[in-house]
Amino acid sequence: MTTTTNTTEATNTAALARMTENLNKVEALGARLTQILIGRETHQSSLDAPNQELFTKAAQSYWSEAMQNPAKLIEHQVSFWSKSVGHFIEAQQALAKGSLKAPEDKTPDDPRFANPLWSSHPYFNFVKQQYLINAEALSQAVDDASDLEPAEKRRLQYFSRQIIDMMSPTNFLATNPDALERAVQTEGESLIKGLENLISDLEANNGELVVRLADENAFELGRNIATSPGKVVFRNRMFELIQYSPSTETVHATPVVIFPPWINKFYILDLKEQNSLVKWIVDQGHTLFMVSWINPDRSYRDTGMGDYIQNGFMTAIDEVKKITGEDQVNAVGYCIAGTTLALTLSLMKQRGDTSVKSATFFTALTDFSDQGE
C-alpha cells in the first residue's frame, strides 16, 4: 500500500513539474508574441472590419429610436435585466442546495457547447447561459435599428453576428472546458503548441493576424494534390492549358474545358483520387482541359477584364478546338471565372461564335443586385 501511494505521489509530482515547466514556456512565448505585435510593419487596412461610419450610423439609429419610442428601449432593457437576474438567482439556488449542480438548462442545442460540462458544471453552465442572453439582447438591438438603409442594415447584422460569435466563451481558454481539459491532459503542451501556431502565423504575415487554414507542408504533388496524369499543351502570358490523359478506351467527341477562379485554385478539383473531380470526369470518358491562370505581379497592373476574356477564355477555347479537331467545347466556369464565362458567352453571341456547346457554372454570380453577405 505504501509503495503504491509513494508511486502515485511521485507521478503527480513529476506531472506538476512538467506542467510548471510548460507554463513557464507559455510566459516566454507570450513575451515573444508581444514583441512581434509591437514591431509589426504597416497595418493592412484591407483586413479591417467596416469603418466606424457604419457603427456610428447604427448608434445614431438606436438612440433616435430610443428618443422616439422610449417604451420599446425600456422594454428591451428590462427584459435583459430580468433574464440576467433570474439566471443568477437560479444558479445561486442550485448552489444553495449543497451540490455542485447546474440549474435547469432550457437553452437550444448548439454544437459549440457539446461538452457535457456546459450543461452539468454550474460555472460553465452559468457562463454559457449568460452569453446566450447577452447575444439575444445584442441581436434584438441590431434588429430594431430602423433608421438605416437596407444594405447598411444587412451589413450591421452581418458584422454584429461576427462580433457576437467572436465573444463566445468557447473562444477563450478560461471559459472553454475542452481547452482546459486538453491543457491538463497534455500538461500544458497544448497551450505551447497553440501559441507557437499563433506566433508562426503572425511572423508569416508581418505581424498581421491572418490565420493559416491548412498545413503548408501537408500536400505533396502526385500524392494528395494534382494526382491525375496530364501535361501542359499551351501557354501564354495569361494561363497554361493542361490536358489530362484519358482513362477510357473511347472518349466523347466534345471536349470539356474548365475555367477555375483567377486566384488559380484549379488544384482543388484534383486532390487525391477519392475526391478528384478531374479523375471522375476523365473516368466518364471525357477529354478534359484545365486552365491554370498566371499569378499576376506588378507587370499585370494594366491587365483588365477584356484581356482575361480575349487572351484567356477565347484563346483557351480556340486552342482546345485546334488540339481536338472539334468545332465546339463544353465549358465550365468556377466562381469569378463563371461570371467571366457568362460575359464571354455574351460576347460570343454578338459575334455569332457558337464554339461553346454547353456551359456549366460552379458557385458563380451573374446578378450582382443582391450580393449576399
Cα radius of gyration rounded to whole Å, the chain: 29
Say if strands 288-293 and 356-362 run parallel, antiparallel, or are unpaired: unpaired
- Specify if 308 maps to a domain: yes
Q: What is the pTM of this model?
A: 0.63
On the 0-12 / 13-18 / 19+ scale of CB atoms within 10 A, 340 is buried
- Specify if 58 maps to a domain: yes
240 and 150 fall within a common domain:
no
22 and 169 fall within a common domain:
yes
Among 204, 222, 240, which residue terminates a domain?
204
Chain centroid to CA 337: 21
- How many structural domains is the chain composed of? 2
33 and 167 fall within a common domain:
yes
- Specify if 292 maps to a domain: yes
292 and 153 fall within a common domain:
no
Backbone angles phi, psi at 169, to 5 degrees: -60, -20
183 and 251 fall within a common domain:
no
The CATH number of the domain holding residue 346 is: 3.40.50.1820
Q: What residues have CB less than 8 Å from 337, skipping those under 6 apart?
A: 259, 260, 261, 262, 291, 364
* CA–CA gap between residue 157 and residue 135 (Å, rounded): 12
First-residue to last-residue Cα distance in the chain: 65
Point out which residues pair with 242 in neighbouring strands: 232, 290
- Return the C-alpha cell found at 117: 460540462
Under the phi-then-psi rule, with left for phi > 0, alpha for psi from -120 to 50, and beta for the rest, what region is 206? left
- Specify if 371 maps to a domain: no
Q: Which entry of 316, 331, 335, 341 is annotated as an active-site residue?
A: 335
> Using CA of residue 193, residue 224, residue 278, residue 257, what is the dihedral sign?
positive
141 and 250 fall within a common domain:
no
180 and 266 fall within a common domain:
no
- In this structure, the number of other CB atoms found within 10 A of the CB of residue 58 comes to 22
Write out the H or E segment, with its range, that includes residue 256.
strand 256-259
111 and 250 fall within a common domain:
no
* CA–CA gap between residue 234 and residue 290 (Å, rounded): 11
- Specify if 367 maps to a domain: no
- pLDDT by position in tens, the chain (length 373): 555 566 666 666 776 777 778 777 777 777 777 777 776 666 666 656 666 676 666 666 665 665 565 555 556 665 665 666 666 667 667 666 666 677 778 888 999 999 998 998 888 898 999 999 999 988 888 888 777 788 888 888 888 898 899 899 999 888 899 988 888 888 888 888 888 888 888 887 777 777 777 777 888 877 788 889 999 999 999 999 999 999 999 999 999 999 999 886 788 899 888 889 999 999 999 999 999 999 999 999 999 999 999 999 999 999 999 999 999 999 999 999 999 999 999 999 999 999 999 999 999 988 888 776 6
Q: What residues have CB less than 8 Å from 356, skipping those under 6 apart?
A: 317, 328, 329, 330, 331, 345, 348
343 and 277 fall within a common domain:
yes
- Specify if 2 maps to a domain: no
Active site residue 359: no
Write out the H or E segment, with its range, that includes residue 329.
strand 329-334
Containing domain of residue 140, as a range?
Answer: 16-41+48-204
